[in-house]
Structure 1
Amino acid sequence: MAAPANQFVYIDAAALHAVLPFPSLISHLRTGLPAFSAGIHCPHRVSFPLPTAPSASLLLMPSVSAHPSLPYLALKAVTSFPANSPRLPSIHAAVSLFDSASGLPLASLDGSALTLIRTAAVSALAASLLASPTRPPSTLALAGAGALAPYLAEAHLSVFPSISRILIWNRTKAKSTALAAKLREAHPALAVEEVDNMDEAVLAADIVSCATGSQEPIVRGELLRPGAHLDLVGSFTPAMKECDDEALRRGRVFIDFEAALQEAGELVGALQRGVLQREDVIGTLTELAAGRVVGRRSDDEITVFKSVGTAAVDLLAAQLAYETYIDTTKKA
């Protein structure tokens, strides 16, 4: 689809939620990743320290499509200010979208909202491809109650209407209480429970989704139920990890992109220790979506999906948001 000719637009968080409902974005990624990811070039992320604050930094993540049916390039700029007060998030982001044929600026999008939405959509897409098709999941466990957690819940609910129970564990009780209240208000028929330890949640869950900054395993693989699906979102450095080696030994392991093998602490450590071999990582999300690798092979098999994020998904999400926004504006 050619980039629509239109004036430059700003798509804020509220508009992004309107134009990127999870069913639409998940479907778009399922078809778009196999069709376009080979032609999307994502140079290495660049980080700049900022002289205004010793602990602050600016990160730039570009992506450009060489495919004529995806005529866009995008740049996500992320600021990290760890010293911000608790009332102000430490991470902020903006995504700029350009026409790749002319360089014409097309849109600026709220990068924080876009990242939350697309990250949850990637997890739910992987779960939809890896969870048992004959034994629909009924219980979802969430580790972590931060900004991403409600998005993960909503994304999984959108692909699994069979989910009737959500278990929430978080180190800070007040955050899990607030998330539980939010989910109960949005889904009155859903059983939402807080748990005091993650072991309890893992033992009960069909899908376990982790979005924490933990540097110690919080999911013990020996407790995963036969047929469970483990979704690991939080770690993005070799020092971070959300599951132990046993989870990887027991599971059939998939990743979002190859970068996970260098960035995710669970995988980096397991590969270094010989717990995993490279061939034990079955494939990427793109290969799964394209049917080039086999996902789940039985109802009792355990599957593991590790994501670290990529600018290619930012580009596809920004494309869908922009084109939907322009189409909606024209019809208004």
Structure 2
Amino acid sequence: MDKIAQISNQFIEENTHFPKLINEIQKAFSSKKTIAPLRHHHDFPNPTTGADTTLLLMPAWNPSEDAGVKIVTISPENVQFDLPSIQGTYIYLDATKGTIKAILEAKELTAKRTAATSALASSFLSRTEASSLLMIGTGALSINLIKAHASVRPIREVFIWGRNFEKAKALSKTLQNEKYTVTPVQTIEEKIKEVAIISCATLSKRPLVLGKHLKPGQHIDLVGAYKKDMREADNETVTKSSVFLDTYQGGLKESGDIVIPLQEGIIQESDMKADLFELCAATKKGRTSKEEITLFKSVGHAIEDLAAANYYYKKYTNA
């Protein structure tokens, strides 16, 4: 049996070129080769922290080529253990023999592929001249989202807001040598009206992006709110926007950002403009005017993981 590659978070961090990773994910969505059943989503009690832990199982395969499954836990109260909320492993397989080709640490794999997917959506949905970004959230995804968005748009100004202002300041310092300026802000309201792109990656249960603050031409990237009782944007944001999903399969069922307004009759499933399969295959259009407000809701998909695992495996083996 061939030796199983062990691909660490550090390797993934040091070997990510967002334009190339975005291209790999775009090819995966535009192709009809990859099969990905609806992911398993299970919440189980965590009495120690007082908040449920979520277990996600995300399989995908290209027949006779490659396959894989990601096992992820999301524990919102991991901050008390000084740990990221997302923990996991990706098992990358030979789809012909069923053997394991690699085991990848899923923390950075998930962060990179999620950020790359948001940037892929932005390439269809934000204005081509978009030069400013408000990052809402200071978790593990925030730096990756900033870098990924800046790889597809000419970002010159970034503003960061988090519940802990000190974390926002620390994040800004980490990015001080990038090609754009990075400024921590005390409130969302002070910059949300000014920026071209708003990216939100939090575990919030109440809306942080409010429609009353939005202006024509903005693009909203919602990455958090992975459960039905979580929301990052209010109803006014959704009704003001042209709404796009990573997939109909997950986007219509898993996140409160879409599920709650659907249940309340604020929007209908037919109001969804397109998903990434349609955008990448050019069967539906993204942004259609400079004044349009676009909203992309990401819940994550196994196709993204498999494309990313293949990307890093080839890097690791110099294939």
Note whether the superposition's TM-score is higher than 0.5.
yes
Determine the C-alpha separation between the residues in 2 that align with 1:94 and 1:52.
24
What aligned pairs does 1:37-186 form with structure 2 within 5 A after superposition? 39-45=34-40, 47=42, 59-68=55-64, 71-80=65-74, 84=78, 85-133=80-128, 136-160=129-153, 162-184=154-176, 186=177
3-state DSSP class of the match of 2:295? strand
3-state DSSP class of the match of 2:169? helix
Letter in 2 for 1:151: N
3-state DSSP class of the match of 1:204? coil
Whether contact under 8 Å (2:208, 2:232) holds in the other structure is yes
1:102-146 deviations in whole A, cap 9, x for unaligned?
10110000111100000100111100111123xx01110010111
Q: Which of 219, 222, 230 is matched with 2:209 structurally? A: 219
Higher mean displacement: 268-277 or 38-47: 38-47
User: What's the Cα RMSD here?
Assistant: 2.3
1:3-52 deviations in whole A, cap 9, x for unaligned?
xx95321111121123332111101111221114x631224315485999
Aligned pair 1:242/2:232, yes or no?
yes
3-state DSSP class of the match of 1:42? coil
Identity between Structure 1 and Structure 2 (%): 35
Whether contact under 8 Å (2:60, 2:302) holds in the other structure is no
Determine the C-alpha separation between the residues in 1 that align with 2:245 and 2:83.
32
Determine the C-alpha separation between the residues in 1 that align with 2:149 and 2:170.
19
Whether contact under 8 Å (1:62, 1:76) holds in the other structure is yes
Determine the C-alpha separation between the residues in 2 that align with 1:58 and 1:33.
26
What aligned pairs does 1:302-313 form with structure 2 within 5 A after superposition? 302-313=293-304
Determine the C-alpha separation between the residues in 2 that align with 1:149 and 1:58.
21
3-state DSSP class of the match of 1:205? coil
Letter in 2 for 1:313: E
Whether contact under 8 Å (2:241, 2:295) holds in the other structure is yes
Could you tell me which runs of 5 or more consecutive residues in structure 1 were left unpaired when the two chains were aligned: none
Determine the C-alpha separation between the residues in 1 that align with 2:236 and 2:46.
43
CA change 1:83–1:284 in 2 (3 A) is closer
Which stretches of structure 1, 4 residues or longer, exceed 6 Å deviation after superposition?
50-56
Determine the C-alpha separation between the residues in 2 that align with 1:148 and 1:214.
14
Aligned residues, how many? 316
TM-score (norm 2): 0.92
Could you tell me which runs of 5 or more consecutive residues in structure 2 were left unpaired when the two chains were aligned: none
Which residue does 1:204 correspond to in 2? 194
3-state DSSP class of the match of 1:218? coil
Q: Which of 275, 279, 290 is matched with 2:270 structurally? A: 279
TM-score (norm 1): 0.88
3-state DSSP class of the match of 1:116? helix
Whether contact under 8 Å (2:58, 2:301) holds in the other structure is no
Whether contact under 8 Å (1:76, 1:95) holds in the other structure is yes
Which residue does 1:320 correspond to in 2? 311
Whether contact under 8 Å (2:158, 2:182) holds in the other structure is yes
3-state DSSP class of the match of 1:174? helix
